[in-house]
Amino acid sequence: MKILLIEDEKDMQENIVASLAKEGFLLEVAADFNLAMDKVMMYEYDCILLDITLPDGSGLDILKELKKQGKSDSVIIISAKDSLDDKVAGLDLGADDYLTKPFHMAELNARLKSVIRRSSFGGKNEIQLGNLKIQLDEHQVFINDEQLELNRKEFDILNYFAANKNRLINRSSMAEHVWGDNMDEADNFDFIYSQIKNLRKKLKDKQADIEIKSVYGIGYKLVVQ
């Protein structure tokens, strides 16, 4: 999987590269408008991560050019501008998703994988995790072909874990992803724990060969045995 990251902030770049490399993506980086334009025109990528505010131009122009040339690369806009206008403009121009800075790497993983899955032709929209199979469109989970009953929250949690297999997921990142922005100011995220506990129990009862590990003080990690 080839990804192009168009981002001018060096540290941000490094973080994204380091994180996506762990997921096994092949990453190319463009730090300015012209280089980004060249790369976009010359090569094809599975997904382009596009920062709107570049020092010498607008990321939206790159997106326009891309669509004009009839290229089918998926695009996720990443921008510090969380104004609705930018979001609407970006999505109208054909971006597949929009991510507002600051974001958690786990969130980027989930969005990126979801976009790539959707765009890959003929690909079944399902994820295999050990002996566990998640059917995303049907919202169903099977363990060794036996259905696992999960409520919506548990399904979302499992899905998020699946996109971040073997990665550390911060509790606040999990709360934001599953419970929405509403939760980001709650006094603590202990309530997540009870959901995780239920999910763990269900997974164990059906003898799934995945395990949700707690990482002290930070969050959780899904490990495939």
Give the residues lining the site for other proteins (CB under 8 A). Answer: 9, 11-12, 15, 18-19, 22, 80, 101-105, 153, 167-168, 170, 172, 179-180, 182-188, 190-195, 215-218
- Angstrom distance (rounded) from CA 25 to CA 38: 21
Omega before residue 102 within 30° of 0, cis? yes
For other proteins, the closer of residues 31 and 37 by Cβ is 31
Please report how close the Cβ of residue 190 comes to other proteins at its closest, in angstroms. 6
Please report how close the Cβ of residue 221 comes to other proteins at its closest, in angstroms. 8
Please report how close the Cβ of residue 168 comes to other proteins at its closest, in angstroms. 5
For other proteins, the closer of residues 137 and 187 by Cβ is 187
Contact 45/3 with Cβ under 8 angstroms? yes
Please report how close the Cβ of residue 51 comes to other proteins at its closest, in angstroms. 11
Please report how close the Cβ of residue 14 comes to other proteins at its closest, in angstroms. 8
For other proteins, the closer of residues 72 and 188 by Cβ is 188
Size of the chain, expressed as the number of residues it contains: 225
Q: How far is CA 221 from the centre of its chain?
A: 16
Please report how close the Cβ of residue 106 comes to other proteins at its closest, in angstroms. 8
For other proteins, the closer of residues 119 and 170 by Cβ is 170
For other proteins, the closer of residues 117 and 153 by Cβ is 153
Give the long-range contacts of residues 28-32, CB within 8 A, separation 24 or more. 28/2, 28/3, 28/4, 29/4, 29/5, 30/4, 30/5, 30/6, 31/6, 31/7, 32/8, 32/56, 32/57
For other proteins, the closer of residues 138 and 185 by Cβ is 185
CA-to-CA separations, 11 to 16, 99, 140, 177, in angstroms, rounded? 9, 17, 39, 24
Q: What is the DSSP string of 14-54?
A: HHHHHHHHHTT-EEEEE-SHHHHHHHHHH---SEEEEESEE
